[in-house]
Structure 1
Amino acid sequence: MDSPSYRPSPEHHRDLSSQVGRILAGLDLKPHLVRGWLTCPDDPNFYTKAAEVCALYPHCPPHSVALSVDEKTAMQACSRRHPTRPVKPGQIERREFEYRRHGTASIIAALDVHTGQVLVEDIVRNDSATFISFLRLLDQSIDPKLTIHLVLDNGSSHVPKAPRAWLAAHPRFAVHHTPKHAS
């Protein structure tokens, strides 16, 4: 069967596929059907926290800005090996699948959920010190008359003592943590 000249006959394919179909039917297996689930966390405040975060998106409090902040680490920087061929009459756009790797990039970003503006900074590490440095940048970049509502996940750089202490010392920042499994 490993010989390069072996070519299964169409009858062989039909026999094999019908055999697989009979086995799956007999076991009541349906590998083409998938249903995801999430075990609800043991947090009695899950829905309250979720509602608080969700309320910021359509209705920001007066004299405030709502920022969704998160880190994205180790993103691949890639480019296509060959240029995309544009659409032509009677032919769809064609894109080559091969790409070149140019390393990785890590960023931290704050999205103003009402304007769509994004403040992005390259980061070397994803730790508390980096997060606090970014908070300082936000503090300097945003009109001091505005309250800054931060929507944060429970990431390892957001919850230690140092960021909590920094935020407590800067009352213009109002922190809204997403519930576990909801970021």
Structure 2
Amino acid sequence: MGKRIKHTIAFTEKQKQVLETMKNGSHSPLHMIQRSTILLSLGEGRTPSEIAREMDTERNTAAKWRNRWIAAKPELDRIEQENPRQSRYWLNPNITDEATFHKEVQQVCELYDAAPRLYESGTHVHSSDEMTGIQALSHKHEALPMLPGKVERREFEYERHGTSGIIASRHVVTGQVEAPLIQPTRTELDFVQHISQVVMLHPDDRHIFVTDKLNTHQSESLVRFVIAQGKLDLDEETLGVKGKSGILKSMATRKAFLENPAHPVRFVYTPKHCSWLNQIECWFSILVRRLLNKRSSFSSKEAPEARIAQFILYYNTHLAKPFKWTFDGNLLKV
């Protein structure tokens, strides 16, 4: 019995709940399921040798995660006990102008709500953004298949073959992923090329793009595209010079121009650090879960690019539908 006590590790109620959630989660990565299972078994008093036999793994693996938990436990306890407000960074934007923030959130939500009616009158609402850093990784060895009572086992070592990315828009009403630009770069010209291709799908209609405030989404090239597409009659003095005068002077002046509701192509911007308001981010999550997950293996940079293109074709043919957007812009209801 003394030997078992030596190997037993302790959890707070919250830590145990998190581990059980990871162990039983239907979308939990395999390595997280294995690690949480090992830790929970250690917490029940099993030895690394017993766990190794039950899970068909190495004793050193169980011992390693026991030692890591023991080393991390003081810091985990401290984080759990401190004020939750100290851990806000990734959860909340830094709101300096609350009235403007709420107005921008409300504007996006109202646009999603109005999108079906706008569509009937010839105005298309799109959600646009980039996904960068798509890694082409290949496992060094083939995975061992599932057997009765055993999970699939994958090689953890991999080789890198470069990275790519995607610029895409999602039609808010139809759910179609439109004119994807699958390549490593995402310059302002790349973004304009993508927007142009989306507009050309319905060149005689009006278009509204929901996107974030990245500098390439408020660029001189984008302003010039909107002017050309809308056949807007602007003299050089009004247009101005980037960094000096007129519409092109700064990102703020370019943004104000691109937001103009009178233009046949215009942009609606989400607040800073509010990517969750952009529906294309929901689709990027679908792409990662279904295609770019830890089970995928790509032998070249071009391989994930081709697979993404195939997935988009399949998605548009069989799966595309509008998201049921329920958030109405009210951040807190009592």
TM-score past 0.5 threshold: yes
Higher helix share: 2
Match of 1:173 in 2: 265
Q: Secondary structure at the match of 2:135?
A: strand
Kept in 2, the 8 Å contact 1:70–1:110? The answer is yes
Q: Which amino acid aligns with 1:133?
A: Q
Work out whether 1:121 is the aligned partner of 2:121.
no
Q: Which amino acid aligns with 2:265?
A: F
What TM-score, normalized by structure 2, do the two folds share?
Answer: 0.42
Kept in 1, the 8 Å contact 2:132–2:184? The answer is no
Q: Secondary structure at the match of 1:82?
A: coil
Identity, in percent, stands at: 29
Q: Identify which range, 68-77 or 97-106, moves more after superposition.
A: 68-77
Structure 1 residues 68-87: Cα deviation after superposition (integer angstroms, max 9, x where no partner):
11122332211222333443
Match of 2:192 in 1: 132
Q: Identify which range, 117-126 or 130-139, moves more after superposition.
A: 117-126
Q: Secondary structure at the match of 1:57?
A: helix
Give 1:61-140 correspondences, 5 Å limit.
Answer: 61-62=118-119, 63-118=122-177, 119-123=179-183, 125-140=185-200
Cα distance in 2, alignment partners of residues 80 and 58 from structure 1: 44
| Aligned with 2:78 (options 20, 23, 30) | 30
Distance 1:100 1:117, change over 3 A: farther
Cα distance in 1, alignment partners of residues 204 and 176 from structure 2: 19
Work out whether 1:48 is the aligned partner of 2:100.
no
Q: Identify which range, 165-174 or 95-104, moves more after superposition.
A: 165-174
Cα distance in 1, alignment partners of residues 175 and 153 from structure 2: 31
Structure 1 residues 104-162: Cα deviation after superposition (integer angstroms, max 9, x where no partner):
1132111223333223113454322222222221122x223432221111111111233
Relative contact order, higher structure (CA 8 A, sep 6+): 1
Distance 1:31 1:78, change over 3 A: same
Cα distance in 2, alignment partners of residues 78 and 113 from structure 1: 32
How many residue pairs were aligned?
Answer: 164
Kept in 1, the 8 Å contact 2:180–2:194? The answer is no
Distance 1:117 1:95, change over 3 A: farther
Distance 1:95 1:41, change over 3 A: farther
| Aligned with 1:161 (options 188, 196, 220) | 220
Kept in 2, the 8 Å contact 1:123–1:130? The answer is no
Q: Secondary structure at the match of 2:104?
A: helix
Q: Identify which range, 32-41 or 71-80, moves more after superposition.
A: 32-41
Cα distance in 2, alignment partners of residues 32 and 84 from structure 1: 37
| Unmatched segments (≥5 aa) in structure 1 | 1-9
Distance 1:65 1:80, change over 3 A: farther
Cα distance in 1, alignment partners of residues 109 and 96 from structure 2: 18
Q: Which amino acid aligns with 2:206?
A: T
Cα distance in 1, alignment partners of residues 88 and 138 from structure 2: 33
Distance 1:168 1:53, change over 3 A: farther
Q: Which amino acid aligns with 1:138?
A: V
Distance 1:89 1:110, change over 3 A: same
| Unmatched segments (≥5 aa) in structure 2 | 1-5, 10-68, 231-262, 276-334
